[in-house]
Amino acid sequence: MPLQKLKDCLDREQVRYVTISHSPAYTAQEIAATAHVPGKELAKTVMIKLDDEMHMAVLPASSMVNFTRLKGLTGVSTAELATEQDFVNRFPGCEVGAMPPFGNLWDMKVFVAEELTQDEQIAFNAGSHTELVRLSFGDFVRVVEPRVCDFAASGTLV
């Protein structure tokens, strides 16, 4: 169902995309290796809370959210990682941790790491741990209308 909802959106917006089926994988790095997608092209969706409001942060598979930087960029009082309990019921039919980065489908804002703008393509989970969608980064921005900013960091969560 989530993949169909996503496909319906992409078809309605006349976006060219491909779906990639792969063996079950749960971390972004495992997914990139299993699906033979360059790690820098694979985007992961991290659920975050800014002043207790749910948002999506989309960043390269190998990066982490720098909450201090994100807080400064957005001007909020608090920026934190959402817990599974905070969002598990918001994405019916999606496997936890496999939500596609289309906040527009779930009425939430999306923040995209600047690093992802360096590639022509973006690939991401399509609601399950066995399927990806790949499309042009330009089409992703056109449909989702995310805020692109510099909040990704390598290493540990800050």
Give per-residue pLDDT as tens, 28-76.
Answer: 778 878 887 877 778 999 999 999 999 999 999 889 999 999 999 999 9
Whether the Cβ atoms of residue 16 and residue 95 lie closer than 8 Å to each other: no
**How would you classify residue 2: left for phi > 0, otherwise alpha for psi between -120 and 50, otherwise beta?**
alpha
Write down the H helix ranges in the chain. Answer: 2-12, 28-35, 67-74, 84-87, 137-144
The C-alpha torsion from 10 through 89 and 74 to 41, rounded to 10°, is -40
Give CA 150 to chain center in angstroms. 15
At residue 23, the pLDDT reads: 86
Q: Which domains are delineated in the chain?
A: 2-124+139-153 (3.90.960.10)
